Amino acid sequence: MSLTAGLLLTLSVAAAEVAPHQPGDPGPATPTPTGAGWLSTEANDNLSLTADGRRLVFGRSPTGDFENAQVLMATREEGPWSAPEPVFSPRPGGRDSDPWLTPDGAWLYFVSDRPAPSRADDRKDMDLWRAPLVDGRVGEPEHLAAASSPGEELGPEVHDGALYFNSTRPGGPAPLAIYRAPVLADGIGPAEAMPAPFNEGQVQGDLTFSPDGSTALFWSVRGDLREPDLFAVVRRGDSWSEAIRLPAPFNAPGMDFTPAFTADGRTLYWASQRENAEGRADVVALSADELTKALEATIRP
């Protein structure tokens, strides 16, 4: 969940009238809420699955503004998904959000306002954290202090040896900008802002990459936009193309944010406030083939 996303979410009350889709199923040809009745309720975002398709996490906030935000997890073997359960014990007034699972299921990255030795007791901003998973159990959370700041940190993901996230830290290229930090053997190194075209909007966040690293997606408010939409760039040698706003059906009236690919690159998930959402924001699924078609019609050579 982006900070802007949390602040701007508004209520949608109509139920979705589309064919059911469950996380891990092949992506449909049109954006479809996934996990209707158990996942797509309230304000949900940041769906992430392991490569074997047996474990997922997502973020949920009853009001969509991070209040009482939780990280939830569900599992399955051959049958249906288990009922999602909170990953962490509740903390009065505490917030845990923006989960992301490494494809091998070894680490859970997330953001939290939980206390840490390097944080003042009165701080309420969210920092970067991670926790190991051993035999399906989530271990002790580790505060990623070197990459965190007194501002808000949000949307962590790890790709190709680097941790990507968005932050409101002072001195950045935008009030909410995308950063990366190296993943080291003993933790996470210092962060640096991503170059153009990633941080050219008023705000942006939730950067993700296709498994082959050729495509990057993120949400942004830029140009004449007044609400977050999904943008894409494609790799061209050692550089990136200009960022383009994805067309319908990727973007619709209402916010579209927190994009993520499945580990096989075949399905794209993101959170959306589009019409007929079951909750305040639904996680929708779409075949990545539809993204390929959109990119071939716009920015691919």
* pLDDT tens per residue across span 107-152: 999 999 999 999 998 899 999 999 999 998 999 999 999 999 999 9
Q: Are 211 and 261 in contact (CB under 8 A)?
A: yes
Closest by CA to 28, choosing from 42, 16, 37, is 16
| CATH topology (fold) of 3-16+38-296 | Neuraminidase (2.120.10)
Condensed to tens digits (0 to 9), the pLDDT of residues 247-301 reads 999 999 999 999 999 999 999 999 998 877 666 789 999 999 999 999 999 886 5
- pLDDT (0 to 100) of residue 128: 98
pLDDT at 5: 47
Q: Give tens-digit pLDDT for 161-192.
A: 999 999 999 999 999 999 999 999 989 999 99
Specify the residue for token string 């049958």: 79
Per-residue pLDDT, 68: 84
CA torsion through residues 131, 133, 138, 139, sign: negative
Domain boundaries, the chain: 3-16+38-296
Q: Which comes out higher in pLDDT, residue 68 or 232?
A: 232
Summary mean pLDDT of the chain: 90
pTM greater than 0.85 (yes/no): yes
Compute CA distances 45 → 50, 81, 99, 212, 270, whole Å: 16, 17, 9, 23, 7
- Residue 14: its pLDDT value, please? 34
13, pLDDT greater than 50: no
Residue 258 is predicted with a pLDDT of 97
pLDDT of residue 7: 38
pLDDT confidence band for 62 (50 / 70 / 90): confident
Structure-model confidence comparison of residues 173 and 225, the more confident one? 173
Question: Is the separation of the CB atoms in 230 and 217 below 8 Å?
Answer: yes
Confidence of residue 4 (pLDDT cuts 50, 70, 90): very low
